[in-house]
A and B are shown apart, each in its own frame.
Chain A
Amino acid sequence: MENIGSFIDMIFVTAKAWILALLGQFLPVWIVVLASIVISGVAILCLGPVIMMYLTLLERKVIGRIQNRYGPNRVGIWGLLQPIADGIKMFTKEDIVPANADKLIHLLAPIMTVVPALMIFVVVPFGRQMTAADLNIGFLYFIAVSSITILPIFMASWSSRNKYSLLGGMRTAAQLISYEVPMTLAAVPAIMMSQSLSTNTIVLTQAGSFGLNWFIFTPWGIVGFIVFFLCATAECNRPPFDLPEAESELVAGFHTEYSGMKFALFYMAEYMNAFTLCGIAATLFLGGWQGPFLPSWVWFFGKTLALICIMIWFRGTFPRFRVDHLMAFAWKFLLPLTLVNILLTALWQFTSASAAWLFSIMILAAMLYMLVKLNRVFVPEKRNYVLAD
């Protein structure tokens, strides 16, 4: 039983090792090294688009159910072939480039969007020993690469020569820069506790008994997780933070002038970003692949999918923020909260658990109260309506 469990746990790792061993028998070492990179790379390159395709299906299904309808169910059983049909449609659509567009940059932008989205996959720990490259600066790498994603959006919005695109691009820039700050700061407690930037080490720190010593089970973990998750939602432009592509205002924001496969690439990047950000959130606060009984990669994908479902749930429920509220929310609400949270984590390391719980909750409650009081604009006005004759 134990053996079968660990075999399933390590099935992908074993498979890769087996292939490499096979190659090593009759090929020089350097090809084997190269093959190791290629195998991981190909796995990620395949995983990315597949994840994107089926996330679109999942999203449409879940939102459909939320709205009391079926969602796609015509192509294949349960609509399982729908993403493929969509893909064919995207490939065969005419590629329209506006007459005044900067053609080269217009072409490069969608390609450039996908690259960082794929690059982040490298440091995501999909399971035990299943990180493509266990960099010792893993988290920094993630932050750095995801900060590049702004550039292609700029390129798309600028090269389209369209006012909607331009506005969308400016909103994106403001939003991504703003939310990167609280996102990074929200992750700091996890890094402080695991004393490492490596994503794998962060996961290993959360082992404990039954692999359940997740950071989210601490007060600073909850706050950090919620803030990180909200910022992640904003980082991949998902509702309620989807201002850059706000359909009802800016038509489609920065990708208004894109069609066909270029358009699909933007979507691919968005969904892959959503996946990796949820994966990183799970890694930082939900114990990554840690968990009892089930194989590690099942735990990882389960947690990530659960987070994605929450994102979809957001989309099915909330109206969109407005630009100034969005900024205020990041700078005046989330940022102070994360700073206090970092302080709390530092204190947490010196005190006993029960007392720590008490003062943490008190500090957080006081902070929240203060922030809500300071940000009057977030609090709904109470209104009474006259019923006249």
Chain B
Amino acid sequence: MPNIIETKKLDGSDILEINFGPQHPSTHGVFRMIVQTEGEKIRGLRPIFGYLHRNHEQIAENLPYAAIMPYTDRLDYVNALANNFGYALTVEKLASLEVPERAEYLRVIMAELARIVNHITVIGFMLNDLGAFFTPLLYAFRERERILDLFEEVTGSRLMNNYFRFGGVKRDLTALHLATIHQIVAKFPAFLEEFETLLSKNEILCMRCQNVGVLSPETATNAGITGPVLRASGVNYDIRKVDGYSIYHRFDFKIPLGKKGDVYDRYYVRILEIRESLKILEQALAKIPQGEILNKKTVPFIKMPRNFKPPVGEAYGRVESPKGELGFYVVSDGTPQPWRYHVRAPSLINLTVLEEMCLGQKIADAIIILGSIDIVLGETDR
């Protein structure tokens, strides 16, 4: 019988190499980790990705600007609207387009709803990785469903929204839709309350999550980590505040910061961010004006996308996607297609510190640390 289970010697102890993925219940897609363990303790970890590479950037460089929008949906398929937002923002910068007032509000409302969807999904999946048998995940999905139903009514699709247009949005929200959002926002705190009673104070969860996978603020900033993972480490950096893009500067909201940068902080910062998003939604719903939803200049390009030729130049637009800084870099050579198109995917860059966080932890911790980073392989591999 050949010896399959080989061990290596490292520092005088037996090292067992385990392959997590590409097919594994909790790698969130086709992601692979080669984990070197000593007993249950992790001594080395190598993330391997690229299994879901779809040539996103190359495809985009051969398409007219408007036709790239549905492809951005497929980057981070949990919250397509944030991707739409980032791309639209970039192209607007490139072509110096103004966005009507009402459209800005619609954008913020939809993007914040998408942030809520993303955060509850992530928390649900993370708790699933912790071994809570689908209960928190399904409670989260129950609430997510209400928002997705709204997305379906407004944008036409639940996940692949394709909602943003250069200089505005595709479809207006009716008074009925606004009332539905109002209802969702009003009901959400009660759900969060229930969700937190279910597990936030649970001793087992705290044991598992607290002081596990600690990421120091220095490492986080040096590695270019963004989003809730960075904020959980206590660094106050949120592009909504830093850039104040769109109309975020008009809203009153806070940035929740973590203390230790462990898994629990990342979990809890997300819950607090949902609460802040609800605040933004309330304000936006109260202040939303009437008016145009699309810039007059871009209306003809809806029918003829190939006539849309931004002037020669380059632009980098970024938004605070729920996962971190989502940036699009587009270079135009004056043709209908971008000359260069690049995505700064937060999932990919946040993944770089995985080994750092996992060393010295147990195998079970690697799974939840991966879960707490919140990666979507569609975005990581592109």
Contacts and interface: CB of A to CB of B under 8 A. Distances in A.
Q: Do chains A and B touch in the complex (CB under 8 A)?
A: yes
Contacts of B16: 163
Interface string A362-386: 0000000000000001111101111
B312 interface: no
Contact of A315 (B1, B24, B133, B138): B133
A199 B255 CA distance: 61
A167 B40 contact: yes
Interface string A75-106: 00000000000000000000000001010000
A318 B254 contact: no
Contacts, number: 139
A127 to B, nearest CB: 33
Nearest to A63: B133
B40 A240 contact: no
Contacts of B40: 167, 171, 323-324
Interface string A230-261: 00000000011011001111110000000000
Nearest to A165: B5
Interface stretch (A65-73, A218-226, A300-308, A338-346): A65-73
Given A319-B208, A388-B254, A249 B367 contact: yes
Interface residues of A, number: 47
A377 B131 contact: no
Given A166-B5, A167-B18, A387-B255, A380 B203 contact: yes
B239 interface: no
A319 B199 contact: yes
A380 B264 CA distance: 11
A325 B40 CA distance: 13
B254 A381 contact: no
B122 interface: no
B101 interface: no
A388 B257 contact: yes
Interface stretch (B163-171, B178-186, B358-366): B358-366
A161 B127 CA distance: 30
A100 B1 CA distance: 7
Interface of A: 63, 66-69, 100, 102, 161-164, 166-167, 171, 239-240, 242-243, 246-251, 315-325, 377-381, 383-389
Sorted from nearest, which 3 A-B pairs have the closest CB atoms?
A320-B131, A380-B206, A387-B254
15 contacts: A68-B139, A100-B1, A242-B131, A248-B128, A251-B25, A319-B132, A321-B204, A322-B364, A378-B203, A385-B257, A385-B259, A386-B256, A387-B254, A387-B272, A388-B256
